[in-house]
Chain A
Amino acid sequence: MSLLAQAWQWLIDAQQYSGDGSIPIRLLEHLCFTFAALGLATLIAIPLGYFIGHTGRGALWVVGITGAARALPSFGLMLLLVLVLGVSARLWAAILALVILAIPPLIAGAYAGIQQIPRATIDAARAQGMTEWQILFHVEVPLSMPLVFGGLRGATLQVVATVTLVAYVGLGGLGYEIIQGIPLRRFDQTIGTAIVIVALALVLDALLAFATKLSVPKGVSAGRLADVRAKDAG
């Protein structure tokens, strides 16, 4: 039997769906880490990205730093933080490492989301007498949504994949089954779990792709239609 077929057998075995270390529980742990890290990272990165995009201040160093941060080795960062903060705080150390990894794509999305808005649109809003806050919330934020979701998609993929590593410091998640399976030569377990992680990443990405589509403001789609009509008439 091929390895993939064995992995499939392992996946559909009812034994994997009950008890302490079952797939649903590992999946739940995995999702908890993913959402906790993404939530915290969003709270930090989106306002920061908007601030930079709106004011244009600090754009250069933030783009530089976030670019460099993408090169951080995730496992090294996590282990370092666990050792620095102490093993008793390993839960927070691991989440902090994931947050640090999720921030760069989120900032880039929020910042680029505002950057790409045509200057004329924002000037027009200002000429209408809108305050800076009104411009931010009624013009810039809605128009930035597709790119913000794009950033969130990137961050989600990175975090879902990296949560696999928290098992190295004893925090469970789906990675546990992989890290346990390799030395025991249980390749059905290893590959089966890898398939679950890939499926999870694809599902989350598809959901966010859908949300990205929904996030395009009505006015923008309406504007596009108007353009088409103008072209036909001409």
Chain B
Amino acid sequence: MTLHKRTKLFTGLAVATGLVLTGCAAEEPSSETIVVGSQAYYSNEIIAEIYSQALEGAGYTVERAYQIGQRDAYLPELESGAVDLFPEYTGNLLQYYSPDADARQADDVYAALQDALPEGLSALAMSPATDQDSYNVTAEFAAANGLESIADLSGIDGLILGGSPELEERPYGPMGLLETYGVTVAFDATGDVTVEALREGLINVANVYSGDPRIADFALVTLADPRGLFLASNVVPIAASDIADELAVIIDPISKALTPAGLVALNLLSTKDQISPADIAAQWLSDNGF
């Protein structure tokens, strides 16, 4: 290889690498472009895709920044204005910004969240759909012990609660159960196999997200929470304040139309039928007359 050829080759390689690098970096969106983000959680991405397609239907240019990860990763992006719209959950987001908040019921949590949000971010109207922690038992266990609410658990000996490792330390974990309902449980950090552990009888009570289709699939019984152990956590779009009013015109009707059962159905399309978020969102929008 001659020197000349080699120089050419290296120049080519350098240019190509440069192109790849600029491709990796997030592009600065133009002012008319709405950047919609989502968590690295399939259900959240479906909701984000519904927002995106609705905005596109209304003539906006949308840039999708999905799967950004968990709150520590994406909230700084929202606060800096790099992301304009993000589907969130009232209770969990409130707990992030003010861990000591004592609001529990849906409307109180929403009001508290509006106060807690940092400047520059606004909560649009919340949806009746929830995706929150809930305690579940098998149908057989519920029937055998006459269980309807968490309070009915008190007096049962040898209960084992299963969930992710952090549940052990959460205010609604074993300690909260004892304080709020007088229910004593042992804790087993069943992590990613909580539902399987419940069905095999390794644990009696399982912490499962209320939007999880497996609750219906396996006929699990979600125990009612009359004393507000869990924070209500409704789906709520968080938007950059300067365009919040503009976006609300399009997004608010969507939030209103998304029901708790509707959200579970969306999740089921993803987990069971393996349909892509884009197809699920398009179908939902047309089914609901948008």
Residues of A within 8 A of B (CB): 79, 82-83, 86-88, 90, 167-170, 172, 176, 179-180, 182-185
Q: Once the chains are docked, how many angstroms separate the CA of A32 from the CA of B184? A: 30
Given A179-B191, A180-B164, A180-B166, 8 more pairs with CB closer than 8 A: A79-B193, A90-B193, A167-B165, A168-B191, A169-B190, A169-B191, A170-B190, A183-B70
Q: Once the chains are docked, how many angstroms separate the CA of A38 from the CA of B196? A: 28
- From 178 to 216 in chain B, residues with beta carbon under 8 angstroms from any chain A beta carbon are 188-193, 196-197, 200, 202
Please name all residues of chain A whose beta carbon is closer than 8 Å to the beta carbon of B200 when the two chains form the complex. Answer: 86-88
Known contacts A183-B164, A185-B72; A87/B169 CB under 8 A: no
Please name all residues of chain A whose beta carbon is closer than 8 Å to the beta carbon of B165 when the two chains form the complex. Answer: 167, 176, 179-180
B168 at the interface (CB under 8 A from A): yes
Which 3 pairs from chain A and chain B are nearest by CB?
Answer: A180-B165, A170-B190, A183-B166
Nearest CB of chain B from residue A181's CB, rounded to whole Å: 8
Known contacts A167-B189, A170-B190; A83/B196 CB under 8 A: yes
Nearest-neighbor residue (CB-CB) of B196 within chain A: A87
Q: Once the chains are docked, how many angstroms separate the CA of A170 from the CA of B186? A: 14
Q: Once the chains are docked, how many angstroms separate the CA of A216 from the CA of B70? A: 50
Please name all residues of chain B whose beta carbon is closer than 8 Å to the beta carbon of A179 when the two chains form the complex. Answer: 164-166, 191
**What number of residue pairs across chains A and B have CB atoms under 8 A from each other?**
55
Nearest CB of chain B from residue A102's CB, rounded to whole Å: 22
For the complex, count residues of B whose C-beta is within 8 A of A: 19
Residues of B within 8 A of A (CB): 70, 72, 162, 164-166, 168-170, 188-193, 196-197, 200, 202
Please name all residues of chain A whose beta carbon is closer than 8 Å to the beta carbon of B72 when the two chains form the complex. Answer: 185
Please name all residues of chain A whose beta carbon is closer than 8 Å to the beta carbon of B170 when the two chains form the complex. Answer: 184
Nearest CB of chain B from residue A162's CB, rounded to whole Å: 15
- State whether B193 touches A83 (Cβ < 8 A): yes
Nearest CB of chain A from residue B69's CB, rounded to whole Å: 11
